[in-house]
């Protein structure tokens, strides 16, 4: 048994005895129980010091413990998030939390590279920043906390979370669980913390705190821009408006089902979800009919479409917050539109420059515009995407079209012939992330995004070629 293993064993024993004494004394100030941000950052800084002097195996143990401990809590997490935010639906939130927990990469993401030669050896290694300030949205509150906690700790950091005020109960409940699980498995207290009462003021104080060198912001453009003004290193995961292009070569039946799946997932809350369709006119009515035959409500009456537009988009040209993440039935009822059954999605045919195409609505109301050909569809899709460089989707069997669109859109995620959520590792190849850094360019973030690449040189040795 080496010294590090002995140290770990001792820490385990100390943690267990602290646990026993804790049962007879009052709760320690830890996890999401801090009154003010300074105390939370100070505690996280101390925790970072402890993690940073330990071996990588501690980080691996933390990640595997979180996967084990939180697995049973996922249904409750989904239920609590849905009740508190009033957005999305429990079944899809279970899926989102499951992929966050089991498909977020851990320490294996931090691949070391080496160069050797007559001069010796140079290593490039991913090293931690220290205490990361992470801001989570209301649309994926617990998914983002799970996903960020795993990636950030795997990279060797401690995290101060700024939970969304609209999801503070479920977020602080989760942060306490995560913190306790980490303490129980390795004896390090406060690797993941937050204030007990998340607020915009606490978020602002965290952003400017001297001991927080990196801000990771998952939210709308307002909060990302605010973080960028602090002068700190920022990983900004901002808004998107993902368009879907459907050309004349697509398997229309499959495309319609994939689009319904993606656009209705958690009632369209994910930033990557399909927000607008541009279809080549020769297959437009085929696609709209296929939507209707696969469970979408295709609203055709012009007055009904006008009313849907009016309730979905406010006078400020932003989505009506009261309808964000609501069910198709709720949206139809709000607009006074007659419908049958329980539609999976609301679909409307509109002009390419309709506000419904241009505004990020975050609700299962999908506008569909037509284009004369693929070239025009691509130009419309570029306008709809709005330069966010976030996500785009395309359904086609024409490889030239797919290549051209993938290059021209320049989005962080480009999904071909699948629902948008294939781009975050749901049901298809690839790891999961809930922080897609668009304005700052890291794209689909993982542990290595939360690490500094450092170079270590050994002169005239360790070249064995
Ligand atoms: P939001 O912008 O309302 O909130 C995000 C976070 O910022 C919250 O924690 C909130 O407390 C904080 N915040 C907001 N305004 C603040 C202010 N003035 N001062 C201090 N803190 C402030 O975001 P939301 O409505 O919960 O999420 C939806 C938005 O986030 C959408 O635009 C969506 O596209 C985007 N989003 C992007 C990603 C991505 O990975 N790129 C992921 C999820 C959500």
- For the chain, give the number of residues: 465
> Where do the CATH 3.40.309.10 domains begin and end in the chain?
243-428
**How remote is the CA of residue 238 from the centroid of ligand 1, in Å?**
8
pLDDT bin (cut points 50, 70, 90) of residue 427 is confident
List residues bridging with 436 in a β-sheet: 444
| Distance of CA 164 from the midpoint of ligand 1 (Å) | 8
How large is the average pLDDT for residues 162-188?
97
Strands annotated E in 180-221: 192-193, 214-218
pTM comes to: 0.93
3 CB-near residues (< 8 Å, 6+ apart): none
Residue 315's pLDDT is 84
Q: What is the pLDDT of residue 461?
A: 87
Q: Which of 84, 206, 223, 434 to mutate to test the pocket of ligand 1 (most atoms within 8 A of CB)?
A: 223
Query: Does pLDDT of 6 surpass 50?
Result: no
- Residue 249 has a CB neighbour count (10 Å cut-off) of 16
CA dihedral 336, 338, 343, 345 (to 10 degrees): -50
Q: Compute, in angstroms, the gap from residue 263 CA to the centroid of ligand 1.
A: 20
Backbone angles phi, psi at 101, to 5 degrees: -75, -40
Give the residues surrounding ligand 1 with Cβ less than 6 Å away: 135-140, 162, 164-165, 200, 203-204, 218-220, 222-223, 226, 237-240, 271, 360, 434-436, 438
Grouping H, G, I as helix, E, B as strand and the rest as coil, residue 218 is strand
User: Where does the pLDDT of residue 337 fall: very low under 50, low under 70, confident under 90, or very high at 90 and above?
Assistant: very high
Determine the distance from the C-alpha atom of residue 262 to the mean position of all C-alpha atoms in its chain, rounded to a whole number: 15
Report the nearest atom of ligand 1 relative to the CA of 138.
Answer: 26
Q: Which two tokens stand for residue 186?
A: 């390795």
User: DSSP assignment, residue 88?
Assistant: S
* Rounded Cα gap, residues 346 and 192, in angstroms: 40
The closest alpha carbon to 32, from 154, 173, 170, belongs to: 173
Cβ(138)–Cβ(112) under 8 Å? no
143, 148, 166, 220: residue to mutate for ligand 1 pocket, most atoms within 8 A of CB: 220
DSSP string, 325-347: T--HHHHHHHTT----S--SEEE
The answer on pLDDT for 408 being more than 90 is yes
Contact 421, 273 (CB under 8 A): yes
126 Cα to the center of ligand 1, angstroms? 28
Q: Is the pLDDT of residue 4 over 80?
A: no
Q: Which atom of ligand 1 is nearest to the CA of 238?
A: 41
Pick the CATH number of 243-428 from 3.40.309.10, 1.10.8.100, 2.60.40.10, 3.30.160.150: 3.40.309.10
Average pLDDT over residues 266-292: 98
Pick the CATH number of 3-238+442-457 from 3.40.605.10, 3.30.70.1230, 1.20.1260.10, 3.40.50.300: 3.40.605.10
Residue 170, beta-bridge partner list:
none
pLDDT at 21: 42
At 12 the pLDDT is: 53
Phi, psi of 156 (to 5 degrees): 95, 10
Alpha-carbon gap, residue 311 to 313, rounded angstroms: 6
239 Cα: distance to centroid of ligand 1 (angstroms): 8
Cα of 155 vs centre of ligand 1, distance in Å, is 24
Whether residue 5 is predicted with pLDDT greater than 90 in this model: the reply is no
- 3-state DSSP of 392-454: EEEECCCHHHHHHHHHHHCCCEEEECCCHHHHHCCCCCCCCCCCEECCCCCEECCHHHHEEEE
Cα of 187 to ligand 1 centre, how many Å?
Answer: 33
CA–chain centroid gap for 110, Å, is 20
Question: Atom of ligand 1 at shortest distance to CA of 204?
Answer: 20
Report the half-sphere exposure of 35 (CA within 13 A, side-chain side). Answer: 1
Q: Whose CA is nearest to atom 34 of ligand 1?
A: 239
Give the residue, out of 219, 431, 436, with the most ligand 1 atoms within 8 A of its beta carbon, to mutate for a pocket test. 219
- Given a contact cutoff of 8 angstroms between Cβ atoms, the answer to whether 328 and 366 are in contact is no
pLDDT of residue 450: 98
Protein residue with least CA distance to atom 19, ligand 1: 200
Among 215, 220, 291, smallest CA distance to 257 is for 291
Mean pLDDT for the chain?
94
Burial class (CB in 10 A: 0-12, 13-18, 19+), 382: middle
- What the block records as the tokens of 138 is 């209301």
Structure confidence by residue, pLDDT tens digits, 12-69: 534 554 454 444 445 679 999 999 999 999 999 999 999 999 999 999 999 999 999 9
Neighbours of 229 (CB within 10 A): 10
Q: What is the mean pLDDT of residues 301-307?
A: 98
pLDDT per residue over 341-387, tens digit each? Answer: 999 999 999 999 999 999 999 999 999 999 999 999 999 999 999 99
- pLDDT bracket for residue 105 (50, 70, 90): very high
Q: Where does the chain hold its CATH 3.40.605.10 domain(s)? A: 3-238+442-457
Distances (CA, A) of 88 to 100, 267, 283, 396: 17, 5, 31, 30
Could you write out the DSSP letters of every residue in 259-321?
Answer: HHHHHHGGGG-STTS--EEEEEGGGHHHHHHHHHHTTEEEE--HHHHHHHHHHHB-TTSSB-G
Q: Is 98 helix (H, G, I), strand (E, B) or coil?
A: helix
- Note the pLDDT of residue 28: 78
CA 126 – CA 137 distance, rounded (Å):
27
Give the pairing of strands 131-135 and 365-371: unpaired
% pLDDT > 90, the chain: 91
Cα(428)–Cα(310) distance, rounded to whole angstroms? 37
Measured in angstroms, how far is the CA atom of residue 203 from the centroid of ligand 1? 12
Name the residue with higher pLDDT: 427 or 214: 214
Confidence of residue 463 (pLDDT cuts 50, 70, 90): confident
3-state secondary structure of 108: helix
């Amino acid at each position: 048994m080496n010294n590090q293993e002995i140290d770990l064993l001792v820490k385990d024993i100390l943690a267990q005895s602290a646990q026993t004494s804790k049962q007879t004394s009052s709760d320690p100030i830890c996890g999401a129980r801090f009154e003010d941000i300074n105390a939370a950052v100070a505690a996280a800084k101390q925790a970072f010091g402890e993690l940073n002097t330990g071996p990588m195996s501690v980080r691996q143990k933390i990640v595997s413990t979180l996967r084990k401990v939180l697995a049973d809590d996922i249904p409750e997490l989904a239920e609590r998030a849905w009740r508190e935010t009033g957005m999305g639906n429990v079944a899809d939130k279970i899926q989102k939390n499951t992929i966050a927990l089991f498909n977020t990469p851990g320490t294996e993401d931090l691949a070391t590279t080496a160069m050797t030669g007559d001069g010796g050896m140079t290593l490039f290694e991913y090293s931690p920043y220290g205490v990361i300030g992470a801001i989570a949205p209301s649309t994926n509150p617990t998914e983002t906390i799970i996903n960020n906690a795993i990636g950030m700790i795997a990279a060797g950091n401690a995290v101060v979370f700024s939970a969304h005020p609209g999801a503070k109960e479920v977020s602080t409940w989760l942060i306490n669980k995560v913190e306790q699980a980490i303490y129980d498995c390795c004896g390090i207290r406060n690797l993941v913390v937050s204030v007990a009462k998340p607020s915009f003021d606490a978020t602002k104080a965290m952003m400017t705190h001297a001991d927080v060198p990196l801000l990771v912001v998952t939210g709308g453009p307002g909060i990302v821009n605010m973080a960028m003004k602090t002068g700190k290193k920022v990983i900004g995961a901002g808004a998107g408006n993902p368009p879907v292009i459907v050309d004349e070569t697509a398997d229309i039946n499959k495309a319609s089902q994939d689009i319904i799946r993606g656009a209705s997932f958690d009632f369209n809350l994910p930033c990557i979800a399909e927000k607008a369709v541009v279809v080549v006119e020769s297959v437009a009515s085929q696609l709209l009919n296929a939507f209707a035959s696969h469970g979408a409500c295709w609203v055709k009456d012009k007055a009904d479409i006008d009313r849907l537009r009016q309730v979905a988009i406010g006078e400020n040209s932003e989505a009506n917050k009261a309808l964000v993440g609501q069910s198709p039935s709720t949206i139809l009822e709000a607009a006074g539109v007659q419908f049958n059954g329980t539609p999976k999605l609301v679909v409307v045919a509109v002009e390419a420059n309709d506000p419904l195409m241009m505004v990020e609505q975050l609700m299962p109301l999908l506008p569909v515009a037509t284009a004369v050909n693929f070239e025009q569809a691509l130009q419309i899709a570029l306008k709809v995407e709005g330069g966010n460089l976030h996500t785009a989707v395309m359904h086609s069997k024409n490889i030239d079209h797919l290549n051209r669109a993938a290059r021209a859109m320049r989005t962080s995620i480009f999904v071909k012939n699948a629902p948008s959520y294939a781009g975050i590792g749901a049901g298809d190849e690839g790891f999961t992330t809930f922080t897609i850094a668009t304005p700052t360019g890291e794209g689909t973030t993982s542990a290595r995004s939360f690490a500094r690449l450092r170079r270590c040189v050994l002169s005239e040795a360790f070249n064995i070629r």
